[in-house]
Amino acid sequence: MMRVVIVDAGGANTGSVRYAFERLDIDATLVTDAASIRAADRVILPGVGTAAQVMARLAQLDLVEVLRTLERPLLGICVGMQLLFDASDEGEVAGLGVLPGRVSRLAGGPGLRVPHMGWSTLRALRADPLVEGIDGEQAYFVHSYAAPVTDDCVMAGDHGQAFAAVVRRGHIAGTQFHPERSAGIGARVLRNFLSPAFEA
């Protein structure tokens, strides 16, 4: 059976992420130790709150270098995805640095509130097994900061500016939206992440 672990980074969404995997008949274990993370087949890094809070929690657990050097498939969710990048303007904090780029605050604009909250359209930029069968559908977002659209961006969102909604580089991936709150589309992304095709 596939071993899926969820890094307990102190976010309030760990329970709902775990339940999302239960709906896929996967028992995802909440962990805080390096050995469990390294032994897993799939690793989930969720995050709710600020980048600084989550990085401080990872540092407290001595997991920063573990995640930076992890060779297993890793999926960051929301702030967890933002922390895959070099740095974030939210608290001027260094991220894990496994993806190049800097996370910055959404500018907003007329009729565009920040935080960006609610259902928003996903636009495919390139094909990838992680987003197989998804384009033009909507996912659920709650965020004030976002990663730039770079070569690692698989799908983009828009909230007055284009931002990275799904990223992927090798075994490292992330979603800015919450798959655990995005109904069938979120379930599809999680299922795709679990699929052997993700590693192909």
Per residue in 156-177, pLDDT (tens digit) is 999 999 999 999 999 999 999 9
Contacts of 6 (CB under 8 A, 6+ apart): 14, 17, 18, 21, 28, 29, 30, 31, 44, 46
pLDDT in tens, 70-103: 999 999 999 999 999 999 999 889 999 999 999 9
When pLDDT is cut at 50, 70 and 90, the band that residue 49 belongs to is: confident
Q: What is the reported pTM?
A: 0.96
The full set of domains in the chain, from first to last, is: 4-199 (3.40.50.880)
Q: Work out the mean pLDDT of the chain and round it to a whole number.
A: 95
Summarize the confidence of residues 105-117 as an average pLDDT.
Answer: 91
The catalytic residue positions are: 78, 178, 180
Three-state DSSP class for residue 96: coil
Pairing of β 42-45 and β 4-7:
parallel
